[in-house]
Each structure stands twice: as structure tokens, then as C-alpha cells.
Amino acid sequence: MTEPPGPPAPPSLDGQRPGRRRGPSDEELVALLRYFARLLLEVERGFRPPAVLRRFLAPHLAFDIEHAARPRPTGAPAVAVGDIGGVRFQRAGRRQAFGVVVIKEADASWRAMMLRLRRDDAGAWRIVEILRPQPRSLVTLQAPHGDRKEVEGAHR
């Protein structure tokens, strides 16, 4: 499998670096989330092997992704710089953080990818959870007085 040229190398995941007492800054973790999102899309579209994600992930996620990934190109478009939208990031204490990355799927729809990061005892950050809500179609509901309303994601 020939790998496409990727984005520039991400910041280190390591907590302790020479000359620095703390781990990555918030800006570095945001860059990391953006980089990871691009690599994940490339893996899902068959352009990269799943092993490229291993260093970012907790072991259980690495296992799941490696066994679910497609081993060959899928005909999906390559990942462009513009396929990664905004990133929101928030630390939740010293050992946990949350991020949301807006991504453009292979079908050209935009979706959110939510990630939970955890800092291990050595100070390294790993992604421990990835959530990608699936789109819901609009459901037509009949109001009690006869008016029709379009409600996104309504339950039947």
C-alpha cells in the first residue's frame, strides 16, 4: 500500500520532555487532535494502514480500529486539508481532556468526532474514547392540532 504524503508530524504525546516539566500545551493537544482526525480519515478510506494510529490510542481502541479497518483503497477521495474543520478542546482536570473535531466524511457530509483523552502515570496522553454520532433524518411529526412539524432526530 502506497501511503499519501501526510500532514506534518504532530507534537509529542509524551508527558515529560527534556527541559520541560509539563506535558503538551493545550495548543499542542489541539494540533494533535487535528492530526489524528486526518490520519483516521485516511485509514478509513484505505490510504494508510491502521497501525499509524496505534501511538495515539489506548490499547483497546488500537485493537478495535486495526480489526475494523479496510486493507485497501475504497475509491473514496483522498483527505484534503479542508476536510478537517474546527477543533474544540477542554481539559477536565490534570489527567483528562475532551475534544471535538469537525470532519468531512467520504460522502461529503460534515460530522463531529468527539474524543476523550487521558493522561497516564508517565504523563503521556492517549485517546481512550472516540464517538461519532450518525446523522439522523428529519422525521415528520403530526402535532395534536394538525400542524406538521419537521423535527431533527425526533423519536418515533
Separation of alpha carbons 32 and 13, rounded Å = 8
Average pLDDT, the chain: 77
Q: Which domains can be identified in the chain, with CATH numbers? A: 26-152 (3.10.450)
Give pairs for 60-66: CB < 8 Å, separation 24+: 61/127, 61/128, 61/129, 61/130, 65/40
> Which whole number is the average pLDDT over 7-22?
54
Phi, then psi, of 77 in degrees rounded to 5: -65, 150
Separation of alpha carbons 103 and 135, rounded Å = 13
Coil/strand/helix, residue 146 = coil
Coil/strand/helix, residue 51 = helix
pLDDT digits (tens, 9 = 90+) for 34-71: 999 999 998 888 888 888 898 899 888 887 777 666 55
% residues pLDDT > 90 (the chain): 35
Coil/strand/helix, residue 140 = strand
User: In which residue are the cell numbers 475504497 written?
Assistant: 74
Q: What's the grid cell of residue 15?
A: 508527558
* pLDDT of 119: 92
* pLDDT of 50: 86
> Which whole number is the average pLDDT over 98-125?
91
User: In which residue are the cell numbers 489524528 written?
Assistant: 36
Question: How many Cβ atoms from other residues are within 10 Å of residue 29's Cβ?
Answer: 21
Q: What's the grid cell of residue 136?
A: 439522523
Separation of alpha carbons 95 and 119, rounded Å = 5
pLDDT digits (tens, 9 = 90+) for 71-88: 566 677 788 889 999 999
